[in-house]
Structure 1
Amino acid sequence: MHFSTNSENNYQFAKWLLEVGNGTNSIDNKILLSEFMKILSQNLNSLIDAIFPNISRIGVCNDQYLSEQTILSPRNEDVEYINQEILNMFPGNQCTYFSADKALIEEGADCNTIYPTEFLNTLNPNGMPLSKLNLKIGCPIILLRNIAPGEGLCNRNHTFIPCITLTLSTSELPFIFKRRQFPIRVAFGMTINKSQGQLLKYIGLNLQTPVFTHSQLYVALSRSTSPYSIKVLFPQDNIDTTTTNIVYPKALIPNTYEHKYF
């Protein structure tokens, strides 16, 4: 249903995608991707050039252009690096916004440690805005919180986004983490998990770090409207186009319905 045209190639790719999701074409959690998905030069700049050609040219980077492609990665830290690399190429002057961070110690907790602001600024937990937020006029962003669900904030709507205070309580930190910052991140790239529900013309897939959870590879490969618009960056030491595909067959409900393609 996602594909832009009806063809035998798309039919075969759709059938293959279902097998990726079910894990029936994987051996020991390894799967061989099509050779045409591999970019010629296996480095990040080549992947960026393949998905965002002429990103540095003023006038090319309009809303339509930026809403049709993205680069996906399994890990947040890789996404942050990719976003900053593309933002450096993006035309315009960069502005930096710093967060106001605070550690809240719960009453009665046995903790005499004082956490300096410099330490708190280094923390960038999942789901929280970055402490150091770099932006340029016209760059794509993603909202981290539903600050106005009724308005349905989306592409090309002009709106005011204020700084908000967010708190995080997790077993990984011995305190409640409090950060005041704009609830956004740059979105040239995003994690595979964040991409669910997206449908794009061009997909770059950074698999230098393989997927590590169930169905991540299936989600990434099924975001595009054509199998030929997916480009993959493999690890440097890969001698072929093999990557990890983690599937838990016992978690899948047997499908009693026949799959049909139109």
Structure 2
Amino acid sequence: MGAIQRSENATFFVDGPGGTGKTYLYCALLASLRRLGHIVLAIASSESNYNIAWGKIMIFGGDFRQVLPVIRKEFLLRVGDGNEDVIMDNMVKLLECMVIPWESEHSINLLIAKIFPDLEDHINDATYMVERAVVTPTNEDVDMLNEKIINMFPDLEETMYSFDSVEDNPRNLYQPEFLNSISLGGLPPHNLTLKRGAPIMLLRNIDPKLGLCNGTRLLCRGSYQNLIDAEILIGQFAGSRVFLPRIPLKSTDIAGLPFELTRKQFPMILSFSITINKSQGQTIPHVGIYLPDHVFSHGQLYVALSIGVSKSTTTILAMKMWSLNHEQMGGNCNIDVNM
């Protein structure tokens, strides 16, 4: 703030472990500076071109523990740094109080019951829903968990079907049934099943000024053929009601498709369960971590563990025993959960 008042050029970097308030700080800075009449832009670091004339004050922020090791401290940071003590065969042992032993498919139901207790009694309960989620590494497991949990809802379901197309499709080479079957990260499913009171998450920036950004969590208040009535659950606009239409969404170059798929669908997915990567930067008081296979790196495990607020409200279900090779920080992060 001093540099701004003195009109100095400066660069700052905000570093802090997960859950320590970085996002809160960013919001406070944005609000304070805009109130004073300054122009402030918040941009994701993944953007390659900003088209901004430089000579401005730049504030970068993040947590290097999510990609590289930095500091040694308590259990969470030791995992993020790759410095947690190991036992036999280089296995990191998780805290016993956080783990549900894997016995059978029944263990998944135990995890769901732990994170969403008495679910049927909390339909349309925004506070209950925003404080709970199960995170897992892959989209496939996210879909499986969301389907399991939405089926527990007593309300009638409504399925919204997308309209899929390929612009250059000579002789109808790509049939609608094939396009409908494509499932990609970042795109909503062809058949989006919703029930009143279910939590959902946006997949695109719709209107950032109103808090409708990629990753915003909402509660479905009503679903119609071409409109979703929803309540924002997080941020300064929590409690606001919004109406969301279908929009055309395009696949990216990294999707690996030989064509560009256009899917006209509501830009959202159910969010009882979300991927670990999608949960980065959020704080969820009651979080379940479902690990049916390897996490991609020790940084991903750190992100999953940092979403919760305490070990007493974080529950882990893992199907295997894995080892962590500290010499290969980009490799699989493996965990001993045999308690």
For this structure pair, what is the TM-score category when the shorter chain's length is used for normalisation?
0.7 to 0.9
**Which residue is equivalent to 1:47?**
111
Separation in 2, partners of 1:29, 1:94: 47
What is the distance in 2 between the residues matched to 1:26 and 1:105?
Answer: 55
Read off the aligned partner of 1:181 and give its amino acid letter. Answer: Q
Q: How does 1:9-28 map to 2 (within 5 A)?
A: 15-25=74-84
The aligned amino acid for 2:291 is: L
Q: Is the 8 A contact 1:199 1:224 kept in 2?
A: yes
Look up the match of 2:265: 181
Task: State the AA in 1 paired with 2:243.
Answer: F
| SS of residue in 2 equivalent to 1:159 | strand
In structure 2, do the counterparts of structure 1 residues 243 and 176 end up closer, same or farther at CA, with 3 Å as the change threshold? same
Distance 2:312 2:160 in 1: 38
Q: Name the amino acid aligned to 2:108.
A: L
Pairs within 5 Å for 1:126-137: 126-137=185-196
Report the TM-score, using the length of structure 1 for normalisation.
0.80
Which residue matches 1:76?
Answer: 139
In structure 2, which of residues 282, 285, 288 is the aligned counterpart of residue 201 of structure 1?
A: 285
Shift of 1:214: 5.0
Closer, same or farther in 2 for the Cα pair 1:244/1:85, shift >3 Å?
A: farther
1:88 aligns with 2:151: yes
Displaced runs of 4 or more, over 3 A = 26-30, 242-251
Check 1:248–1:219 CA distance in 2 against 1; reply closer, same or farther (3 A cut). Answer: farther
Identity of aligned residues (%): 38
RMSD, aligned α-carbons: 2.6
Query: What is the number of equivalent residue pairs in this alignment?
Result: 232
What displacement does 1:126 show? 0.8
Change (3 A) 1:20 1:250: closer
User: What corresponds to 1:258 in structure 2?
Assistant: none
Gaps of 5+ in 1: 4-13, 252-262
What SS is found at the alignment partner of 1:24?
A: coil
Q: Which amino acid aligns with 1:192?
A: I
Q: Distance in 2 between matches of 1:213 and 1:141?
A: 27
SS at match of 2:315: strand
Larger relative contact order (CA 8 Å, sep ≥ 6): 1
Determine the C-alpha separation between the residues in 1 that align with 2:304 and 2:127: 21
1:121/1:193 Cα in 2 relative to 1: closer, same or farther (>3 Å)? same
Aligned to 1:97: 160
Q: How much does 1:147 deviate?
A: 0.5
Normalised TM-score (structure 2): 0.63
Confirm whether residue 149 of structure 1 aligns to residue 208 of structure 2: yes
Q: Where in structure 2 are there 5+ consecutive unaligned residues?
A: 1-16, 21-72, 213-231, 234-238, 331-339
1:33 aligns with 2:94: yes
